[in-house]
Structure 1
Amino acid sequence: MAMIPTGAITTHAQTLPARTRPDEGGEPPVVVFVHGLLTDSLASYYFTLGPAFAAAGIDVVMYDLRGHGRSERPRGGYHIEAFVDDLVGLLDGLDERRPVHVVGNSFGGSIAAGLAAWHPERVATVAMIEAEPPVALWTRHMADGLSDAKRQLAREEAIGWIAAHHGAHTARLSRGASRILQTTTLAEDIPASRVIDDDLSGLTCPVLAIFGDESGLAAQVPDFEAKLPRCRTVVLPEQGHSVLVERTDETRELLLGWVREHSLAGAER
C-alpha cells in the first residue's frame, strides 16, 4: 500500500505486480480498477478481481477515490474532472507510462470514460460495469440520486430500515456515505461536472460495457452500439446493478478475455 501525492490531494493506492511475465519478454499489460461512489473503496476489487488479474500475468493498480477509503477527503473539489485528474496524477506518481486498461464499476466507469475522452494517450481500453458515460443526461441522473441520498441517509430511521432489511454491514456503509455527503460538496459538484459530447465521439478506444438486464442502465446498449464502433456490450440475465459482487466469476472471465485480446492486438501492431 502507498500514499501518493496526486496534485491537490494524497491518494491511497494498492498495486499487485503480475506474477508471471510474457513469454516473449517485454512488459505485461496493466489494469487500473476504479471503484464506485460513496459506499465503495479499493477493497471491493482487492477481494474480487485484483488478485486473479495479477495471477494471470497482469499488473494491477487499485486506489481509493478522493473522499473514500484512506484517500484524502477535501471539503470541495468533487467534479468528475477532479477524479480524472487524480487518476492521471496517480499514474504519473507510479511512473506508469504504458497505456492502461481501465475498469470502472458504476461511478468508476464514468471516471474511466472521462479519462479516455480527455487523455486518450493514457488509455488502451475501457471496461464499464453498470456505468454511464459522463454526458449531460448523466449529470441530471446524478443530481437526482445524490440529492435524494443526502436527504434520506441523514435520517436515523432510514439507517435503521437499511439495517433491518440489508444488515448491519450495509447500514455502516450507508452511515459512511452520509458522512461524505454531509461534510463535502460532492452532491453539488458532481452534477456540475464537465461532460463529454453526447455522441460519445470522444471515446475512440475499445469499450466493453457490462450490464445486468434488470438494471435501468442496460437501456444504454442500443446507444452504445450505434455510437461506438469499437464497443462490445454484454447483458447478464437475471441481474441488477450489483454485477461485480453478485456475478464476480463471469465478470472476471469477461474482463480477462477482453484485456488479453487487446493486449495481444496491441503487441502485434
Structure 2
Amino acid sequence: MKVRVGEIDLHVQRLSPDAERAPVVVLVHGMLYDSLASYYFTLGPAFAAAGLDVIMYDLRGHGRSSRPTTGYRLEEHIDDLVGLLDALEIDEPVHLVGNSYGGSIAFGLAAAQPERVASVVAIEAEPPVEAWSQRLGDGLARAKPWLITDEAIDLIKQAKGDHEARLSRGAGKLLQTTTIAEDVLLSRTIDPGLADIRCPVLALYGDESVLMEQVDYLKANLIGCRVVVLPEQGHSVLIERTAETSSLVLDWVREQSLVEAE
C-alpha cells in the first residue's frame, strides 16, 4: 500500500498478527542498493509468524516510494519515519531494526524522539555522528561518477553477478537524478558521545566488516549495549546470515517486550 507522508508517498507493507496487542517492529533498509524487499525475503514473514506486528517500507527515492529530486538529509528520512508512524496511528514505542543506513536512521530517531523508540537493532550500522556523515558523503561522491560507467557495471557483473549489476545501475541512476550524495553531508548529526540514545541497543557486525571499529565505540558510549560479532562475515549480514540474525533479533524483541511489561 501507499501511505502519504508530507509531500511524498511511501510504499509500505505491514504484516500484522491476529493478536490485538503485539510488539511493533519497524524494519528500515539501507541506502542506494536496497528496498523493503530485502526484509520481505528475510526477516519480515518470520517475525510476523512469531507474533510481531511488522512494518516494512521503502525509503524515499527507493523501491516504489516517491523519488523527489531533493530532500535526502538524514533528518528528512527520520521525519518520514515519524510521519509514517503517525499515519498508521502507532503511538506506542516501536522496536526499530535498521540495516546499514537504516540503522543510522534508527539511531537518529532514538536520539531525536526517545519516547517513540522501545529499542534499536543496528545491523552493520553506524550512529549518525559527524564522522559518519563525512565518510558516507565521501563514499557517495566517489560512487556517483563511477556507477554510471559501463566499466563499473561490467566489473560488478563479473564479480557478483547480474542481480548485483542491476542494483548498481539503479544506484547510479539515483545518485545522478537526486541530491542524495550532497544531502548526506548536510545532515544533522548527533552528539558523538551518544548521550541522547537512551533505549536498549543490539548491534550486529561481521568480523570482516569495515565497521568493526564500531564495536568498541558503541560499548564505550552506550551503557548496556549488546554487541554480537559474527565470524567469517562481511557487511552483508542480513542476506548471508539470515537465520542467525532472525533468531537474535526475535529473542531481543521478546526480551525487551517483557521488560516493558514489568
TM-score, normalised with respect to structure 1: 0.96
Q: 1:47 aligns with which of 41, 44, 53?
A: 41
Q: Which residue of 1 aligns with 2:127?
A: 133
Within a 5 Å distance, the mapping from 1:24-43 to structure 2 comes to 27-43=21-37
Within a 5 Å distance, the mapping from 1:144-223 to structure 2 comes to 144-223=138-217
Q: 2:91 aligns with which of 83, 88, 97?
A: 97
Q: Which residue of 2 aligns with 1:13?
A: 12
Q: CA deviation at 1:92?
A: 0.6
Q: 1:252 aligns with which of 240, 246, 254?
A: 246
Letter in 1 for 2:145: R
Q: 2:78 aligns with which of 84, 95, 100?
A: 84
Which string of whole-angstrom CA distances, capped at 9 and with x for unpartnered residues, describes residues 28-77 of structure 1? 10100000000100000000000000000100000000000000000001
Distance 1:244 1:15 in 2: 19
Distance 1:7 1:51 in 2: 29
Q: CA deviation at 1:216?
A: 1.6
Within a 5 Å distance, the mapping from 1:216-235 to structure 2 comes to 216-235=210-229
Secondary structure of the corresponding residue to residue 85 of structure 2: helix
Q: Which residue of 1 aligns with 2:233?
A: 239
Secondary structure of the corresponding residue to residue 37 of structure 1: coil
Letter in 2 for 1:3: K
Runs of at least 4 residues of structure 1 off by over 4 A?
none
Q: CA deviation at 1:156?
A: 1.1
Distance 1:57 1:218 in 2: 32
Secondary structure of the corresponding residue to residue 249 of structure 2: helix
Distance 1:133 1:172 in 2: 29
Distance 1:166 1:202 in 2: 39
Distance 2:54 2:86 in 1: 15
Letter in 1 for 2:17: A
Distance 2:142 2:178 in 1: 15
Q: CA deviation at 1:258?
A: 0.4
Secondary structure of the corresponding residue to residue 109 of structure 1: helix
CA contact (8 A) 1:99 1:122 kept: yes
Q: CA deviation at 1:83?
A: 0.3
Unaligned runs of 5+ in 2: none
Q: CA deviation at 1:176?
A: 0.5
TM-score, normalised with respect to structure 2: 0.98
Q: Which residue of 2 aligns with 1:62?
A: 56
Q: CA deviation at 1:8?
A: 2.4
Distance 1:28 1:194 in 2: 33
CA contact (8 A) 1:4 1:11 kept: yes
Which string of whole-angstrom CA distances, capped at 9 and with x for unpartnered residues, describes residues 88-132 of structure 1? 000011111121000000000000000100011110000000000
Identity, % of aligned positions: 61
Instruction: Identify the range of structure 1 (59-68 vs 223-232) with the bigger mean alpha-carbon deviation.
Output: 223-232
Secondary structure of the corresponding residue to residue 60 of structure 1: strand
Task: Tell me whether 1:72 sits opposite 2:66 in the alignment.
Answer: yes
Q: CA deviation at 1:230?
A: 2.8
